[in-house]
Chains A and B, each alone.
Chain A
Amino acid sequence: MSATVAIQSKPKRSAEPLTEPAPVRWLLIGVAGLFLALFLFLPLAAVFVQALEHGVATYFAALREPDARAAIRLTLLTAAIVVPLNLLFGIAAAWAIAKFEFPGKSTLTTLIDLPFAVSPVIAGLIYVLLFGRRGYFGPWLDAHNIHIIFALPGIVLATLFVTFPLVARELIPLMQTQGTQEEEAAAVLGARGWQTFFRVTLPNIKWGLLYGVILCNARAMGEFGAVSVVSGHIRGLTNTMTLHVEILYNEYNFAAAFAIASLLTLLALLTLGAKSLVEWRTRRMAPATDEPKDELAS
């Protein structure tokens, strides 16, 4: 038994990568660690330390304050509208792109990524140009007493734009690697369209879909630039959580600003945790992922 282990472990050892001498290795790890500490870990720690600096009572008082509660409600409401819409779009776009061939497909894929190339400030600006008081539809909207800019619809639109590609981007590569054979088999066996989707496609993509939704939600709740342009910063009415953080900071109310910020940071950490979990699940479900090249070649 031990002999076989020794024999088996030998080729493994020789296949190990070449490496640097230990002091060089630890120096490089140290420099990389210092860089990450300065730019990642310290800011992360700072949020929680400063949120709790004045005690737990102050912390929870800051979260219970009426304007803070209104901001949290608005952020939740915005995400509750934005995430399902972008989810629907993501599934539709991924279905069309991954399962069918049509002219202009690569253009469509590029256009889906477009919002990532646009500054969040410009994402807000384009809606102000359309619906703002001096925008194209401003006078008409004014006459009909419809409020888009400096109101919830504007915040929703700006957030939709910024988080637009997230679900689609998760799903397209995933559905492309899975091909169309299973769905075709289901269709040939007489499954109806939605049946095929819910019984065959959805179980295959559920983890990627889940991560896309979680990421989309995190970005929707955390958006700042685009929302800041269209919100009007009306306390208790059009202030989202991130905008409330800015107002509190500008009023030198640091403890309260960090208290709200800590909630958003927790959300970010949960999102990263979900990502790791989803990656772990997909690796376990498909043990052959060590050779993705072979899959492509076949």
Chain B
Amino acid sequence: MTSSTHRLAGASAVAIAAPARRHRSVLPGFRLSLGFALLYLSLIVLIPLAGLALKATQMSASQFWAAVSSPRAIASYKLSFGAAFVAAAINAVFGALVAWVLVRYRFPFRKLIDALVDLPFALPTAVAGLALTSIYVSNGWIGRFLEPLGLQVAFKPLGIIVALTFIGLPFVVRTVQPVLQDLDHEVEEAAASLGARRWHTLVKLILPEIWPALLTGFALAFARAIGEYGSVVFIAGNMPMKTEITPLLIVIKLEQYDYAGATALAVVMLGASFVLLLAINLLQRWSARRQAGCTD
């Protein structure tokens, strides 16, 4: 609240004293650091991405539509988005549970387990794919127990879900964990002393508190899973129409020198990513407001 009024006051002061220039910082290096940052950002990120947009505008509408709506492309979207959604949902449920257990309970190796939750951020995706495949193939450590049950994981859509669950695992845990840590115990105690059942307290009090963070974590995991490539290509089997994700289809088009086809698919994926990015930004703002509201 104070910061926003501050900003408002500052803005009106600037409006009044506009010609007199804003107060200059005594610190040096503003032009140098901002100039270098902008130059580097443009060279590495913005200009190459603009090249992609330019390439897309050079295609005719029918050409673009043909590339993005071929049956093989549609099958890949269904798989990529579907598997990413299921994996993010699994992570939402179990990630919240892991965060709860890590914050609320004390047990051996808690700190070690807490540190290892970040493993999917640090482990190369190719290594993750290789390791998961070796476990879930029919003679692997877990695969051999699933095979008699008629469950095949590796080289099936289920395998893609497993890989994407691994990739997205830290997101929900790391967004929900700080909210749980900051949660006021007094509300829970009050509920308990008023005779509320524990289960009721969880659903009616704690779940609404962590809900924005949980959704943010879900969206982050979903966004990450849509674009994932390394871990999936190992475990998916990569059969066209069956287990071929959209990023792989882009790579295949590129290997055939079909730059236009690859670009069209990339535009679809980028569009989805940007919509998600926007949603995540809104969610995070909501979540921050909620958390700020709690402490007042």
**Choice from B101, B107, B273 contacting A119 with Cβ under 8 Å:** B273
Which residues in A have their C-beta under 8 angstroms from that of B125? 222, 224-225
Q: Give min CB distance, A32 to chain B, whole Å.
A: 4
A125 within 8 A of B: yes
Chain B min CB distance to A1 (Å): 27
Assembled-state Cα–Cα distance A132/B262 (Å): 13
Query: Per-residue 0/1 for B55-85: is the Cβ within 8 Å of any A Cβ (1 yes, 0 no)?
Result: 1000000000000000000000000000000
A170 at the interface (CB under 8 A from B): no
A interface footprint on B114-134 (CB within 8 Å = 1, 0 otherwise)? 011111111111111011101
* 0 or 1 for each of A257-273: is its CB under 8 Å from B? (1 = yes): 11001001101110111
- A7 contacts partner chain B, Cβ-Cβ < 8 Å: no
Partner among B49, B98, B113, B226 whose Cβ is within 8 Å of the Cβ of A126: B49
Digitize B19-46: 1 where CB-to-A-CB distance is under 8 Å, 0 elsewhere: 0001001111110111011101100111
Check B37 against A89 for contact (C-beta < 8 Å). Answer: yes
Contact status A117-B27, CB under 8 Å: no
A272 to B122 alpha-carbon distance, docked (Å): 7
In the bound assembly, the distance between CA atoms of A38 and B229 in angstroms comes to 21
Given that A17-B188, A118-B270, A272-B116 are contacting pairs, would A183 and B27 also be in contact in the complex, using a CB cutoff of 8 Å? yes
- State how many angstroms separate the Cβ of B115 from the closest Cβ of chain A: 5
In the complex, are the beta carbons of A121 and B247 less than 8 A apart?
Answer: yes
Q: How many of A's residues come within 8 Å of B, CB to CB?
A: 103
Q: What chain B residues lie within 8 Å of A43 (beta carbons)?
A: 128, 131-132, 135, 166
Q: Would you give the 0/1 interface string for A15-33, flagging 1 where the beta carbon is closer than 8 Å to chain B? A: 1011110000100110111
- Of residues 121 through 140 on chain A, the ones whose CB sits less than 8 Å from some CB of chain B are 121-122, 125-130, 132-136
- 0/1 per residue, A89-126, Cβ < 8 Å to B? 10111011001111000001011111101111110011
Most chain-B Cβ atoms within 10 A of its Cβ — which of A102, A127, A229?
A229
- A17: nearest chain-B partner, CB-CB: B185
One of A44-52, A61-69, A202-210 contacting the partner: A44-52
| List of A residues within 8 angstroms of B134 by Cβ | 46, 50, 254, 258
> Which residue on chain A has the smallest CB distance to residue B191?
A18
A146 is an interface residue with CB less than 8 A from chain B? no
For A268, the chain B residues whose CB sits under 8 A away are 119, 122-124, 127
B116 to chain A, nearest CB (A): 6
Kindly list chain A residues whose C-beta atoms are within 8 Å of the C-beta of B254: 125, 128, 229
The reply to whether A96 and B33 contact each other, CB–CB distance below 8 Å, is: yes
In the complex, whether B192 has a CB less than 8 A from a CB of chain A is yes
The CA of A92 and the CA of B37, in the complex, are separated in Å by 6
Of all chain B residues, the one with the shortest Cβ separation from A110 is B281
Task: Tell me the residues in window 246-281 of chain B with beta carbons closer than 8 Å to chain A beta carbons.
Answer: 247-248, 250-251, 254, 257, 259, 262-263, 266, 269-270, 273-274, 276-277, 281
Does chain A have a CB within 8 A of B162?
yes
Instruction: Please pick, from A164, A196, A218, A229, the residue contacting B45 in the complex, using a CB distance under 8 A.
Output: A164
Cα distance A43–B156 in the bound complex, in angstroms? 18
| B102 (CB) vs chain A CBs: closest residue | A32
State which residues 204-245 of A face B: CB under 8 Å. 215, 218-219, 221-225, 228-229, 242-243, 245
A35 within 8 Å of B by Cβ?
yes
On whether the beta carbons of A129 and B142 are closer than 8 Å, the reply is no
Tell me whether chain A's interface is mostly helix, strand or loop, or mixed: helix
Q: Are the CB atoms of B124 and A89 closer together than 8 Å?
A: no
Say yes or no: A121 contacts B169, CB within 8 Å. no
A114→B30 contact, CB < 8 A: no
Given the known interface contacts A89-B40, A261-B130, the answer about A117 and B259 at a Cβ–Cβ threshold of 8 Å is no
CB within 8 Å of B: which A39-77 residues: 39-44, 46-47, 50
Q: In whole Å, how far is B197's beta carbon from the nearest beta carbon of chain A? A: 12
Check A258 against B124 for contact (C-beta < 8 Å). Answer: no
> Which one of B44, B55, B135 has the highest number of Cβ atoms from chain A below 10 Å of its Cβ?
B44
Residues of A within 8 A of B101 (CB): 28-29, 32
What A residues does B100 contact at CB under 8 A?
28, 32
Query: What's the nearest-Cβ distance from chain B to residue A283, in Å?
Result: 13
Contacts of B228 in A (CB 8 A): 119, 225
- B236 → chain A closest CB, angstroms: 13
Instruction: List residues of chain B with CB within 8 A of the CB of A42.
Output: 135, 141-142
Q: Which residues of A contact B (CB under 8 A)?
A: 15, 17-20, 25, 28-29, 31-33, 35-36, 38-44, 46-47, 50, 85, 88-89, 91-93, 95-96, 99-102, 108, 110-115, 117-122, 125-130, 132-136, 157, 160-161, 164, 180, 183-184, 187-188, 192-193, 196-197, 215, 218-219, 221-225, 228-229, 242-243, 245-246, 249, 254, 257-258, 261, 264-265, 267-269, 271-273, 275-276, 293, 297
Instruction: Show 30 residue pairs from A and B whose CB-CB distance is below 8 angstroms, ordered by the A residue.
Output: A15-B185, A18-B185, A18-B192, A29-B105, A32-B94, A32-B100, A35-B97, A41-B116, A88-B40, A89-B36, A89-B41, A92-B37, A96-B30, A108-B37, A129-B52, A129-B259, A134-B257, A134-B259, A193-B29, A197-B29, A222-B127, A225-B229, A225-B247, A228-B229, A229-B254, A245-B126, A245-B130, A264-B123, A264-B127, A293-B295
Known: A44-B123, A119-B227. 8 other contacts (CB 8 A): A28-B105, A32-B97, A118-B270, A119-B273, A192-B28, A228-B251, A242-B127, A249-B234
Top 7 nearest A-B pairs by Cβ distance? Answer: A222-B124, A119-B227, A225-B229, A193-B28, A224-B230, A43-B131, A126-B48
